[in-house]
Amino acid sequence: MLSQSDNELLTKVGPGTPMGELLRRFWIPGLLEEEVPTPDCPPVRLRLLGEDLVAYRDTDGRVGILDNYCPHRRASLFFGRNEEGGLRCVYHGWKFDADGSCVDMPSEPAESNFRDKVRVTAYPAVARGGIVWLYMGPPDLQPEPPAFEWSLLPEGQRVAIKRLEECNWAQAVEGGIDSSHISFLHRNLADLNPDAPKTLHQKYAAGDRSPSFTIKPTDYGFMVGARRNAEEGHQYWRVTQFLTPFYTMIPPVLVRDTDSRNMGYGGHAWVPIDDDNTWTWNLSASPHRPYEESRRGGGLEEALDAKYRPLRNIDNDYELDREMQRSVNYTGIVGINTQDRAVQESMGRVVDRTAEHLGTTDAAVIAFRRRLMRMALALQEGIEPAEASHGDWYRVRSASAVLPTGVPFDVGAAALLTPSSR
């Protein structure tokens, strides 16, 4: 468990908070490119790290990320006119470019130089991998974006999907690095039938519901090796990465005894909207071949409304079906994503970690908290996070493998964990 002060250190992300200042040192997945698809398209609202922003694509195709509030009388720039290389406030016509400079101030006399003295907060943005990334930290410390393999693949070989999660970002991350819950939360009851057909993953996850965990610190964060018993003389390893500050890499599901180096894999980014809400990004990569059309979504689809809120949500109990819970799956809820959200949001907007009781399978959760809180406190002492300035550290993969008993996961799966040169 954590003290109340440590829980607040971990979860609060607004401007000026220790964790908020740490997260601002990193490039952040902000929105899908499809949300600002064409030059001079309508601007869209964006809220990240407790700040209200507006995003638009200008006449030249450049994405601008501005403070939502016009610096004149604080009217919302969401209602602005996106025209001729800038976003114009409809209240008095002040116009701002993607750098935040005021390029037109028609409500002032023509001879006035007042526009040269006014700026709106603007954050650098770059489009990569179907995502618009932004950097909200000190301009003189702006690093290169992280070189995730999935973000650099051709369009047909990667997928990015986002959805709203109505809880704090840290409890969402902790769900993503918890490998033990797959034997319960995501279990189909047919897996308990020894005669039912199963993938190797289903077989091992159902057969050993108390995995042993090994945590290996890395430059970018840490690797979590979850070990389950397999056939005699072998063990089933699932290797999950946590990459600071809020990324996880999901091991591929081992379907049969094939070379998993040719398998696709997935990942998550858990981006704080504010202290109470999170953008959960589902990310999928097929490094060796394009997705088939039927799998173009990478198996990550979920029914969403126009604002990316899932249709199965806390207001309708995630469409929980008690009969399904008795006869089909462990939860009575359809979909892995929905099952995860149901338990994470059920903890409340910000979980009270002073009342929890962690066990041996929570080693990754403990490692995450320690690392992030240590980094946030170090930044308060002037020590910048090295991870933020080394985007090349993020070019890694997750892996699943059946290894001989006694072979360490980071040795036996080494060939699977590093992307081959392209």
d(CA 414, CA 420): 12
Strands (E), 318-404: 399-404
Tokens in use for 197? 């057909």
Report the distance separating Cα 224 and Cα 215, nearest Å.
Answer: 5
Quick one: which of 381, 372, 369, 385 has its CA closest to 137?
385
DSSP single-letter state for residue 223: E
Query: Within 10 Å of residue 321's Cβ, how many Cβ atoms?
Result: 16
Q: Which of 53-67, 216-230, 375-389 has the lowest mean pLDDT?
A: 216-230
Higher pLDDT, 356 or 194: 356
* Mean pLDDT, residues 377-404: 94
Q: How many CA atoms lie within 13 A of 365 on its CB side?
A: 20
The residue with tokens 């047909």 is 156
To 10 degrees, what angle do helices 363-380 and 4-11 make?
A: 80
DSSP β-bridge partners for residue 127: 132
What residues contact residue 166 under an 8 Å CB cut-off, 6+ apart? 276, 277, 278, 313, 314, 345, 349
On the question of pLDDT at 258 being above 60, the answer is no
* pLDDT at residue number 65: 98
Helix (H) or strand (E) holding 222: strand 221-229
**CA-based nearest residue to 210, from 187, 222, 226:** 226
DSSP secondary structure letters along 77-91: GGG-EEETTEEE-TT
3-state SS, residue 57: strand
Determine the pLDDT at residue 187: 87
pLDDT-derived band at 296 (thresholds 50, 70, 90) equals low
Residue corresponding to tokens 């109340």? 4
DSSP secondary structure letters along 142-166: --PPP--HHHHS-GGGEEEEEEEE-
Looking up tokens 């699977």 gives: 416
pLDDT of residue 205: 72
Residue 196: the pLDDT is: 64
Distance of alpha carbon 177 from alpha carbon 251, whole angstroms: 11
Given pLDDT bands bounded at 50, 70 and 90, which one contains residue 422? very low
> pTM value?
0.91
CA distance 339 to 322: 14
Interval 127-149 mean pLDDT: 96
Residue tagged 């070990």 (tokens) = 227
pLDDT value, residue 183: 79
pLDDT in tens, 147-173: 999 999 999 999 999 999 999 999 999
The residue type of 107 is S
pLDDT in tens, 303-362: 999 999 999 999 999 999 999 999 999 999 999 999 999 999 999 999 999 999 999 889
3-state secondary structure of 396: coil
* Residue with the larger pLDDT of the pair 293 and 111: 111
The whole-angstrom separation of Cα 172 and Cα 26 is: 19
Q: CA torsion 394→340→204→269, rounded to 10°?
A: -10
pLDDT digits (tens, 9 = 90+) for 5-43: 999 999 999 999 999 999 999 999 999 999 999 999 999
Which span out of 132-136, 204-208, 290-294 was modeled with the highest average pLDDT?
132-136
What confidence category does residue 413 fall into, taking pLDDT thresholds of 50, 70 and 90?
A: confident
3-state secondary structure at position 386: helix
Interior/surface letters 251-272, b for 16+ CB within 10 angstroms, e for the rest: bbbbeeeeebbebbbbbbbbbb
pLDDT at residue 421 is higher than 50: no
pLDDT of residue 293 exceeding 70, the answer is: no
pLDDT averaged over the chain? Answer: 91
Residue 298: pLDDT band with limits 50, 70, 90: very low
